[in-house]
Structure 1
C-alpha cells in the first residue's frame, strides 16, 4: 500500500482538471482548503492514472491504517478529515459536492468521529504483544498543527502560534460551531468544538538546511553568531522562499525560489540571513490576514525546533511583525497538545485551556528594525507580483 505525503507535489498536474470540475472559491468556503497538491482532491485525480486505482477499496490516512491493524476497524476524526480537503468544515461531514466531482463515494472513506471516540480492545496479535495496553483506551489521531497550538498555550483566540520546524505555520484556535473562512487562509478542526485558522509555508528549517548544505556554511553556532550580528535587510537581497513551492497566502504549487541582488561581494551568511528574513516576511503577510479575521489575537507564541535553536530568528520574527514574541518553553508542544486533548476527551480534565503552558522571556520588537522590514516586504511583494503571481 503506497503512502503519499503532503510534500509530494506530483499531483500539481491535476490542478487544471480540478478547476474544470469545481469553483475554487465556493470549494474553499466549504472546506477551508485550496486547489493544491497537498490536499486530497488533486492527489486523487492524479492517482486515476495509477494502474491499481480501480482496485482501491478505501482511501485513508496512515493513522486510520494503523488503527485498522491494531483494532480491526478505524474512524477518521473530523480533525484529520479537515486536512484532506474533503470535509465540509461547518457541517463536520464529508463534502458532497467535492466527492461527486471526484467520482468518490463516502463508503470509500472512513466513518467520521472525534477524539473522544476512544478504542478499547487490541486485536489478538497486539494484545498478546502489549498485554498491559490490551484494555487501555486509545484516542484516534488528530492533526499535529492543532496539537501544536494546544500544547504551546495557544488554545484560545487571544494567542497566535507561529511554528517553524522543517516547514512553518501560523495559526489561531477558536471555539465555534460555524465559521466564515477568509480567502487565503486555510481552516482545519481540532475537534467538533474548535476550529483552527491560519496559513502555512513549505519552507522553514528546510531552507536553512539547504543554505548550510549548498553554501558549505560553518557550524550552526558560528552561523547563529554571525546572523545575530547583521543589521536587518543589510545584504541588499530579495529572497522569495519557495524552494518547496508556495502554500499561504498565494497557494501556487509551481512557485519556485529566487534570490535577487546577488553580487561578487555577497557572502553565504548573508544569503542565509536573507532567507530567514524572507520567511519572517511571509509570516507577516499571514499575520495581517489572521488578525483581521481574529481581531482578539494580541500575543504571538513561537515554537518548533528551528526557532528553539535560533534566538536570532525569533528576534527577526519579532522585528518583521512589529510585535513581541513569547517563546514557548514546552520542548514538545505538539505531543503536549495531543496529551491534553486526550485527557479532556477521556474526562480526566475538565478543560485543557485551564492547564497553562510554560514560556520563556518575551522577545521585544524594535520600531526602527520593523520599519526596515516593512520596506523589505514591499520589495518582496513587488518581486512576487512579477515572478510568481499570474
Structure 2
C-alpha cells in the first residue's frame, strides 16, 4: 500500500470514529489527555501518533467493538510503518581471502623468540562499551556485568581466535540466562558465596499498589431524589404521628434518624477528581456487586414529593438489582435546567479525569422483589498503576434498596398535616 494511502485510510477511520462519538476535538482531547490541535492532526492525516495508546482509548470512548478495534490497530501499524523511512541494508563486506604467501610467515612466527600466548587475549580487561548500550540495559542486567569478564568477540580479531571468542560469549550468555531466571522467579534472592560479586539493586523494593491511595478523590451521595423532588423511603413505623418529609438537603440526616431504607430505587451521585492537572486517571469500568438478598421489607412506604425544580442528569447509569448479575448500563441523561429540556446522550466507559477535569456519575439502582445490599466497584488505571475502588454508603456499609411493589405508598398532605394514600385523597393508586 502506498505511503499516503495507508495514512489516509487510517485518518479516515479516525474521523469516522470521532463523528460517531459526537464530541468536538476539544471535548475528546480532554478525555484523551491530548490537545485539540494534536487530535486534529491525527484525524486529518498530517501526522501519525507514535504509540497506539491514544488511539486505543479513543476507540473505546467512541464505542468501537473488538473487530473494529483490531482493524484500527492494523491500520495504525501500516500507517506508522509508512511514516518511518525504510532502513537500507548495508551489504556485508567480503571477508578477505587468506594470502597463500603469508602462510610461511605464520609458520616462521611460531618459532619467534618471544611468542605471545593466545590465552592472554582472554585475560585482558573488558573494553568499555559505548554509553548508548549501557543506557539501554535493563536494571536487572546492570548487576550481571561483573559476572562476564571477557568482551564480546569482534570482527577485527583473527579467525584463529574466533572460536575462543565464541566460547567465552556462549559462557557469558549462559550466565546471563541463568541469572535472569533467578531474577524473574525469585526477585530479591540473596547471592550465595559462590557469586563473584553481590548484585547492586538500582531501585528500592516497590510498595504494593494497595498501600498507596488512588490518584483521584471521590465522594458518593446516596440521598439523591429524582429531579430533586421525588423519592420513596421505607420506615418501620406507621403514618400516625409521623412528621412531615424533610427538604432534600436534609435527606441524609432524616433518613439516618428514622433508619429509613430506599424504597424501590436508590440514586447515587459519584463525584470524581484527579489529584494532578497533567496526569490523567482513566476510569475503565463500573461494576455492581450484590452482597445480600432477602425478601422485601414489610415496612410503610413514604413518598418525599416536595416540589420539583430543574435538574441536570449527567453520565447516567441504570442498574437492575433483580438480575442475577446486575450491570451498570449507560442510558441517556436529561438537562431540564433551561427553558426547554434536552437529552444528554449516553456515553459508556472509559472516562478520564484530572484535577482540572472532574467527572460526575449518577447511578440509579432499582428492585421490585428484593431487599438488596450492594456496592459499586470502579476500575481505574494511571501511569502504569491499576486498581479498584469499592464505593458504598459510608463507613464501609453497602447501599440498601428494598422493593415496594404491591403496597400503598403514603404522601404528605400539607393542608391536613398528615400522611395519606391515594385512596384517602380520592385518587387511584
In the superposition, the TM-score normalised over structure 1's length comes to 0.25
Q: Which protein has the bigger helix share? A: 1
- The structure having more radius of gyration, on CA atoms, is 2
